[in-house]
Amino acid sequence: MENQYRMVNGLFCQNGEPRIGLGVSYYASYHPAKVPVPEGDRRQPEMKKDLQDIKDAGFDLVRCAALGEVGRTDDGAIDARFPFVDAMLEQAETLDLAFQVRLQGYTMTFGDDGDTVMVDAEGREMPFHWGWFVRSCLHHPQVLQDNLDGTQASAEHFCTFSAVTSYQLYNEPAYPSRGLYCYNPYTVEAYRQWLQAKYRSIEALNKAWQGWHHALGCYRQWEEIQPPRERPAASGHAQAWVDWRVFSTDALSRFIGAVGSSSRSGDPERPVFTNPMPCPFQADAAVRGEDFYGMAEETDFLGLTLYGLSNPTRTEWACMVLDGAESAAAGRGKTAWLIEYDAHVDLSPADYERQTYAALARGIKGIMYYQWRADCPVEGAPEPQMFGMVDADRRPTEKLDTAKAMNHCIHRVSPALAAADKVRSGAAILYSKHAAAHHDAVGTIGSLLQTMQTIYTAFRTRQVPLDFVEAKDLDENLVGIQTVLVPSSAGLRAEEVDMLRQFAGQGDGNVITLDSGDTWTIEGFKACAPNAHAVAGLLHDLIADGWVFQPVQIEGSEQSEDLDVRCLRSSEKLVIVISNFGREKHDVSLILDPHLAGDVPWSSGTVYQPAGRCSIIPEHRADSPVVTIPDVQTGAFLVLE
């Protein structure tokens, strides 16, 4: 049966109509012990039951790994076979289920590994760890060729299945979380070439790296250069370390881009994506090498792995990560998806609802929960019985009925949500991988992240959405930034400072620095102290002066910290998504900025929640419409038209 689902410009479409993608992971790992059912006679019959249950639960999409065999024949051709996945896709076509297929496991090298594995700073080969999903040296010619050929052949194989809508490129691609990588000789040589292209002369490099300690004092030839194998002391010169980590970060994004191009060669019709973790917002950002912006540039839509929003101590951080990923994609004219979202077996029904509202409020266009059925508790299983809508024996978890009801609710508002764009405030936090690497080098990365979080929280609790932007994006400025908040001037490249000056010099751009202590700041820009009180005062002034747009205000300030309100707008409808991160039920009254309505005021609205829906009539007070949503326990969707 011909599948009715397609991906169009990063949107999941049913019979040509954009919808919110709702799905689950199922056989999504290449680890032999991370499976719901071990290999054997039970696997296919259980798979058919599970896919039917997934469909019955209201999910339309499944993410799986291309489990099978890919290798070279004696004549050098690629032989790709995936009998179990083929059977899944055939079954999916009978159920009208769509699939995302992950094309690579831990490695895609054929034959003896030899010298193809990543090497750490001590010269040791990278050990196997089930959660480190990229093992091979990204610059080894055999690794690259095998990846290109194997990826193309895999995409060619799956392009015949109508259930397939897109391809995942690796999983959570990053350098390992322990140790420093990669010091494989092929990587070191690629780094020298990168430095030569950047600095042009060895004299320029020596000047930039002044103070970096190495055996020769200064370099005489490019061939002498070795990448740093430890961070500089806090008082040392950081540029060599910054260059090394930026090179490594860019190399990872380019590698994903290369295998993505190969996938498109095998199947030009299906888009590609990858799913970085929240590393850009973590202390190990420079070491792990994940870059939302670089990966969004190299793929057709950006995915994300995220856990932790249900933990009250991490809710603000998780919301910031969601906005960061969506901003990186939108700044390149693309969409963002949650490819791996928390569905822990013990996740409460209320927290399941809260995290779903929070994601869709931020313009996320698809959510893939991890996972449908928990991994079976066999020997060597790294996460047995940990994540799933049902456990390994197919027993429903407490949240399953809630998930079904939430899916039904989202399907009702799905066309409006999918077609709507996030209403933005015009304010953004500057993100710089160079600054992140600098702060990593000198031991102040925690301070940088704290300043970003302080800014974000001050805006979020006033219901003012914040974007994140790279300096180079300000020229095209696809997300309409008017005010850039610089969390730290230290570590910015001169080119980034020039871009900020050019943005501010146009007259419709505002740049504010929030450096701490006696840290160097950019001359000529307004400065603000990076504490909550000062940022709150700054936001008040920015709104009053028209530099920042506040789409909505909550009547009754005592509710504002627990409540999160975001607006998404299409040509005909306004969708308001409320998330209640507290534990008390509220009647929520919202004062809407009149500019949201345009020339025609809203005449009616419908509130959607898993328990049902109700109609409301907007009240018009002076120039501002007011809407009241009753009984908001975990959240709600309000559609005004």
Nearest to 128 by CA among 88, 178, 194, 85: 178
**Quick one: angle between helices 185-199 and 239-266, nearest 10?**
110
CATH topology of domain 5-107+128-135+151-177+266-420: TIM Barrel (3.20.20)
CB 545, CB 526: distance < 8 Å: no
| Lowest mean pLDDT, pick from 204-213, 479-488, 491-500, 622-631 | 204-213
Region of 453 on the Ramachandran plot (φ > 0 left; ψ -120 to 50 alpha; else beta): alpha
User: Which pLDDT score is estimated for 218?
Assistant: 84
| Lowest mean pLDDT, pick from 11-25, 247-261, 455-469, 622-636 | 622-636
User: How large is the average pLDDT for residues 419-444?
Assistant: 96
Give DSSP secondary structure letters for 129-194. Answer: -TT----B-TT-HHHHHHHHHHHHHHHHHHTT-TTEEEEE-SSS----SSS-B---HHHHHHHHHH
Distance CA 192, CA 84 (A): 44
Distance CA 637, CA 641 (A): 13
Output the pTM of the full model. Answer: 0.96
| Lowest mean pLDDT, pick from 82-91, 113-122, 150-159 | 113-122
Distance CA 340, CA 93 (A): 23
Q: Which CATH superfamily is domain 427-544 in?
A: Class I glutamine amidotransferase (GATase) domain (3.40.50.880)
Report the amino acid identity of residue 445: I
Over residues 256-308, the pLDDT tens digits come to 999 999 999 999 999 999 999 999 999 999 999 999 999 999 999 999 999 99
Over residues 233-246, the pLDDT tens digits come to 655 678 999 999 99
Percent of the chain with pLDDT over 90: 87
Tokens representing residue 9 in the block = 């410009």
Q: What average pLDDT is seen over the chain? A: 94
Distance CA 423, CA 9 (A): 19
| Lowest mean pLDDT, pick from 394-398, 438-442, 514-518, 553-557 | 514-518
Return the bridge partners of 616, or none.
605
Nearest to 563 by CA among 265, 354, 254, 419: 354
Q: Where are the domains of the chain?
A: 5-107+128-135+151-177+266-420, 427-544, 552-640
CATH of 552-640, one of 2.40.50.140, 3.40.640.10, 3.30.1300.10, 2.60.40.1180: 2.60.40.1180
Tokens representing residue 93 in the block = 């076509």
User: Which pLDDT score is estimated for 520?
Assistant: 60
Query: Residue 427: which residues within 8 A CB-CB, separation 6 or more?
Result: 459, 464, 466, 467, 481, 482, 483, 484, 485, 542, 547, 548
Helices (H) and strands (E) in the chain, counts: 15, 29
Distance CA 130, CA 75 (A): 32
**Quick one: angle between helices 445-460 and 433-442, nearest 10?**
130
